[in-house]
Structure 1
Amino acid sequence: MSVFSKTCEYAMRAVFFIAYKTSEDKKVGIKEIAQGINSPEHFLAKILQDLSRKGIVLSAKGPNGGFYMDSITLKQPLSNIVEAIDGDKIFVGCGLGLNYCSESNPCPIHHEFKKIRNDIIKMLKNTTIEDFNEDLILGNSTLKK
């Protein structure tokens, strides 16, 4: 089970991979990213185009081109990636996916889900892309399934 859409999962893993490679002071291409996170290359290309347009990752064309991050993009909260791909439904949506769920008209799991959702929001808004990079560099975490 995942909190995020499959597209958002790939986006987050790709951003983490790019951040990791950027720490080695290099730009990284679609093929390498796709292999590094076990992602379909064509699908990933569309995701990264979108993330690049929205300023989550940077890109350069040409023989030495590819995707990369700088000190500004590395300091973005994870919530930027989630909102760029999935919108804000995780921040405001019902745990059962109901349209009518609210404080005054709650679904059966509303109050418990709200606590969990608030913790997820806090983590996404208070954690930067850069915060996860050290564990990747040290080999303490992985991006492959």
Structure 2
Amino acid sequence: MFSKSCEYGIKATLHIAHQSQRGECVSLKEIAKAINSPEAFTAKILQQLTHSKIIISIRGAAGGFKIKETALEKIKLSHIVNAIDGDEIYKGCGLGLDVCNEAKPCPVHYKFKAVREGLKTMLETTSIKELSTGLNEGLTFLKR
């Protein structure tokens, strides 16, 4: 459903949020290892997230990436998806057809429309804080 970049972007943001709540700044190397992603690929994703003001990049020896505690509730999954994949997930055809719309629907158009609307609602209402709470409590995991 999401691109590989977007999946890694969500995982990276959650890892950074988890560490930020502990008062820690996280290095590129730590993030890449935690989400099982190549460093160069992770660096590009983190650059997109920084550019979109989802995460903060801190330079220097004690630098790395973090998210302000006050931003954790404001950052929704939709912000990450839009920063990396754009809004195509809300528009694409369920069967991948080039032309699929209300006037010329594919066989799954109306059923997939309901799925997309539900997905959009979930992404727009789910905060990073909500998801990182599960990580903090050991109820959810980013890596097995």
TM range, smaller chain: over 0.9
The answer to whether 1:142 aligns with 2:144 is: no
Secondary structure, aligned partner of 2:122: helix
- Report if aligned partners of 2:15, 2:34 keep a CA contact under 8 Å in 1: yes
TM-align CA RMSD: 1.1
How many residues are matched? Answer: 143
Deviation for aligned residue 1:73: 3.1
Percent identity (aligned): 47
Equivalent position of 2:49 in the other structure: 51
Equivalent position of 1:88 in the other structure: 87
What letter matches 2:115 in structure 1? I
Residues 13-22 or 94-103, more deviating: 94-103
Gaps (5+ residues) in structure 1?
none
Secondary structure, aligned partner of 1:59: strand
Equivalent position of 1:62 in the other structure: 60
Q: What's the TM-score, normalizing by structure 1?
A: 0.94
- Report if aligned partners of 1:21, 1:28 keep a CA contact under 8 Å in 2: yes
Deviation for aligned residue 1:95: 1.1
Q: Deviations over 1:32-60 (max 9, x none)?
A: 11111111111001110111011011110
Gaps (5+ residues) in structure 2?
none
Q: What's the TM-score, normalizing by structure 2?
A: 0.95
- Report if aligned partners of 1:57, 1:73 keep a CA contact under 8 Å in 2: no
What letter matches 2:5 in structure 1? T
- Report if aligned partners of 1:55, 1:73 keep a CA contact under 8 Å in 2: no
Equivalent position of 2:121 in the other structure: 122
Which residue of 5, 8, 11 corresponds with 2:6? 8
